[in-house]
């Protein structure tokens, strides 16, 4: 069976691998939360692997949709030109405007006309893998009335007939509870997009309230961030990078980050490193601690609200291992998802992960990943720290992300 992946970690896991054909999935957002990037990302993932997409737009012109997709760093126009992306224009008719789209609904306030045009579009790609995106149910209700939802059962039959996966966008304005319940009953899966206020920060997250197939109906909220370009990514607002002096924390943060800053004096970090990582569908903020003992009083503050920790050690300096464990204690990272990055693994005299575990007396559930440098840091003041091997860094993040999520 063909699955349609969102390319968003954890969401695909919740959906047991992806969205199924012959089903309806609703991206259900509270007002103020964007849900179109989820649909765009799902659509582009499918188009790039050779699938077809029918996009029903009732809130903007198809050219506007293309521009929005381009804004996130994707090129939908190329698929429209070759015919794998087809638009059904149910918007222009609402504003009495002409349309250049092949599938144009003049009477856009008639939901039955949408059904007829949808079947016409699906007939042309009957033997292809396809998704149908409806943008949006909220607009349908606002322009066509609550009774227009009766047409959803017909769309569901079309998805079953043509083996299509239906994806609907919906914003939960103050509709009658009967309207909301009708949508909930119609949907096979519901992805809820909400926000929660933490002190003065408003964080957006997604969760699953319904999955009719073998997915995970979990109430846990997964924070997300919409990057431009890049699209939707699972957001980890704080990962702590700690470890002894000269272990290579700055090298780790700078090597892993798309952009990083340090406060240093004579090449030594005296405050903290800060960097950002976009990798494997995750968006992560890294915070590195100084290693000198005189900064120990603030380690607890630096470690506050961290969701996980990367402990960087010098695998060729076993005398520093005691200090590494001490810093884990002081930074309040004990008990958090943790990975040890055993730096300088290619240096003569470096210890193996097994020997490091024995000397540090670490439990088996804390992974130890060897890391080495591709370049040697300059001793000149103001020069960048050593560049660590990219594959090694990815190994560290891959292991930690599995632990975090």
Count of helices and strands (H, E) across the chain: 13, 16
Surface-to-core class of residue 110, CB atoms within 10 Å of its CB (0-12 exposed, 13-18 middle, 19+ buried): middle
Query: If residue 78 lies in a helix (H) or strand (E), which one and from where to where?
Result: helix 77-82
How long is the chain? 405
Q: Count of CB atoms within 10 A of residue 274's CB?
A: 17
Distances (CA, A) of 364 to 16, 135, 274, 321, 339: 29, 49, 29, 17, 11
List the chain pLDDT tens, one digit each, 405 residues.
689 999 998 899 999 999 999 999 999 999 989 999 999 999 999 999 999 999 999 989 999 999 999 999 999 999 999 999 999 999 999 888 989 899 999 998 999 999 999 999 999 999 999 999 999 999 999 999 999 999 999 999 999 999 999 999 999 999 999 999 999 999 999 999 998 755 445 678 898 989 988 766 656 788 898 988 889 999 988 899 999 988 999 899 999 997 656 555 444 444 478 899 999 889 999 988 877 766 666 666 666 678 889 999 999 999 999 999 888 877 766 677 899 999 999 999 999 999 999 999 998 989 999 999 886 655 554 456 688 999 999 999 999 988 876
Per-domain residue ranges of the chain: 11-229, 235-404
Please name the CATH architecture into which domain 11-229 falls.
3-Layer(aba) Sandwich (3.40)
Cβ(212)–Cβ(70) below 8 Å: no
Contact 342, 313 (CB under 8 A): yes
Same fold, 11-229 and 235-404: yes
Give every CB contact of residue 127 below 8 A, 6+ residues apart in sequence.
none
| Whether pTM exceeds 0.85 | no
In CATH, the number for domain 235-404 is 3.40.50.300
**Secondary-structure breakdown of the chain: helix, strand, coil percentages, each rounded to the nearest 5:** 35, 30, 35
CB atoms within 10 A of CB 286: 23
- Alpha-carbon span 79 to 141, nearest angstrom: 30
């Amino acid at each position: 069976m063909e699955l349609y992946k969102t390319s968003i970690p954890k969401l695909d896991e919740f959906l047991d691998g992806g969205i199924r054909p012959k089903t309806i999935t609703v991206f259900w957002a509270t007002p103020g939360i964007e849900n179109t990037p989820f649909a765009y990302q799902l659509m582009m993932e499918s188009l790039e692997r050779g699938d077809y997409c029918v996009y029903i737009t009732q809130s903007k012109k198809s050219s506007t949709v293309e521009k929005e997709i381009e804004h996130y760093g994707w090129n939908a126009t190329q698929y429209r030109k070759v015919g794998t992306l087809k638009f059904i224009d149910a918007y222009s008719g609402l504003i009495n405007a002409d349309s250049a789209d092949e599938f144009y609904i003049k009477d856009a306030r008639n939901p039955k006309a949408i059904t007829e045009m949808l079947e016409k579009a699906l007939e042309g790609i009957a033997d292809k893998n396809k998704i149908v995106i409806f943008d949006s149910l909220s607009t349908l209700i606002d322009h066509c009335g609550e009774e227009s939802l009766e047409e959803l059962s017909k769309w569901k039959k079309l998805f079953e007939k043509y083996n299509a996966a239906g994806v609907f966008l919906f914003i939960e304005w103050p509709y009658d509870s009967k309207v909301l319940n009708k949508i909930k009953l119609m949907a096979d899966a519901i992805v809820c997009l909400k926000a929660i206020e933490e002190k003065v920060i408003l964080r957006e997250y997604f969760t699953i309230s319904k999955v009719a197939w073998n997915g995970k109906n979990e109430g846990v909220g997964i924070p997300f961030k919409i990057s431009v370009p890049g699209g939707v990514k699972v957001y980890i607002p704080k990962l702590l990078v700690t470890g002894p002096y000269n272990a290579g924390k700055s090298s780790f943060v700078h090597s892993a980050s798309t952009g990083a800053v340090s406060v240093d004096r004579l090449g030594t970090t005296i405050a903290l490193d800060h960097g950002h990582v976009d990798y494997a569908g995750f968006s992560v903020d890294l915070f590195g601690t100084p290693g000198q003992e005189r900064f120990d009083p603030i380690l607890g503050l630096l470690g506050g609200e961290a969701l996980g920790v990367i402990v960087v050690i010098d695998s060729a300096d076993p005398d520093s291992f005691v200090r590494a464990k001490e810093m884990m204690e002081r930074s309040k990272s004990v008990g958090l998802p943790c990975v040890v990055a055993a730096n300088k693994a290619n240096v003569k005299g470096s210890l193996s992960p097994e020997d490091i575990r024995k000397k540090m007396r670490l439990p088996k559930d804390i992974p130890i990943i060897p890391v080495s440098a591709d370049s040697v840091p300059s001793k000149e003041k103001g020069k960048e720290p050593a560049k660590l091997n990219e594959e090694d860094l990815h190994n560290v993040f891959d292991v930690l992300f599995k632990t975090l999520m």
